[in-house]
Amino acid sequence: MSEALTLRPLGIFGGTFDPVHCGHLRLAEEAADALALDTVRWIPAGQPPARLRPPLASARQRLEMVRRAIDGNARFEIDAGEVEADQTSYTVLTLERLRLPTVCGTARPLVLLTGADAFAGMSSWHRWERLFELAHVAVACRPGYSIQADSLPPALAEVYRQRLCDDPAELSEAPAGRIVSFAMTPLGISATRIREALAKRTSPRYLLPDAVLDYIHLHSLYQES
Ligand code: ATP
Ligand code: MG
């Protein structure tokens, strides 16, 4: 494989995916095009940090739903590392694992994919400043959330101003450290709304893949309000 090919950026997409839905799928698909990503590696959180609401579906079930959702997409792959680890899922630890020589090594550009809401909360993440030494960060628009420096916490706004770059091609020039934003088809879909629809016995069909909805029904997930 040529040097240029080996250095194409790898997208990293973490989340609770409780359940995975079409907003997630479009984010990853559009990021792959907009940022010329080789592959997007989906990493469901095993045990999200205590500050987040605990997921309703188990880690294994959320992993299986992602597996079904991305099945057949040659640019997508799944990483069960956080689900299998017996510890709180911190993105910084996951990126440190990916940087091991036996995994991705230190040269390959990694791009952490986030929606605007997740990015705005990033300065509350464990060892958050270290994240920019390990990966680039790409921020997707999400209806109802803006990506303005003025509306970010001050420390994150400072990092955002320093690291923001306009041209996604720059992501291939360094392994980590830049921030890009990219436009995606605005989709007002959230896992919260899907869980609410299921609890009310209304249909979330077409907000998520049929294969995921079938799994949800098979395992009677999200039925309690
Ligand atoms: P919940 O409502 O339970 O918080 P969610 O829909 O926000 O679920 P998460 O698993 O929390 O899904 O999100 C994983 C990532 O996907 C986050 O970076 C989030 O910002 C992003 N994301 C989720 N839904 C969308 C969407 N509709 N458009 C753009 N980004 C999204
Ligand atoms: Mg969320």
pLDDT along the chain (225 residues), means of 10: 63 98 98 97 94 92 98 98 95 98 96 96 96 98 83 96 95 97 94 98 98 98 89
Which ligand has the nearest atom to the CA of 140? 1
What is the atom index within ligand 1 of the atom nearest the CA of 190? 6
ipTM over cut 0.90: yes
Q: Are 224 and 81 in contact (CB under 8 A)?
A: no
The predicted pLDDT at position 96 comes to 98
Q: Which residue's CA is the closest to the ligand 1 atom numbered 22?
A: 115
Q: Which residue's CA is the closest to the ligand 1 atom numbered 13?
A: 15
Distance 194 CA to ligand 2 centre (A): 12
Q: How many of the other CB atoms lie within 10 Å of CB of 174?
A: 12
The predicted pLDDT at position 171 comes to 96
Distance 26 CA to ligand 2 centre (A): 15
What is the atom index within ligand 1 of the atom nearest the CA of 189? 27
The predicted pLDDT at position 3 comes to 46
Q: Which residues of 14-53 are buried (b: 16+ CB within 10 A; e: fewer)?
A: bbbbbbbbbbbbbbbbbbbebbebbbbbbbbbbbbeeeee
The residue to mutate among 21, 27, 198, having the most atoms of ligand 1 within 8 angstroms of its beta carbon, is 27
The residue extents of the domains of the chain are: 3-187
The predicted pLDDT at position 124 comes to 95
Backbone dihedral region for residue 164 (phi beyond 0: left; psi -120 to 50: alpha; all else: beta): beta
Angstrom distances, CA of residue 66 to CA of 132, 196, 215: 26, 19, 11
**Which CATH architecture describes the domain 3-187?**
3-Layer(aba) Sandwich (3.40)
Which ligand has the nearest atom to the CA of 193? 1
Which ligand has the nearest atom to the CA of 114? 1
Kindly list the protein residues whose Cβ atom lies closer than 6 A to any atom of ligand 1.
15-18, 23-24, 27, 114-115, 117-118, 140, 142, 187, 189-192
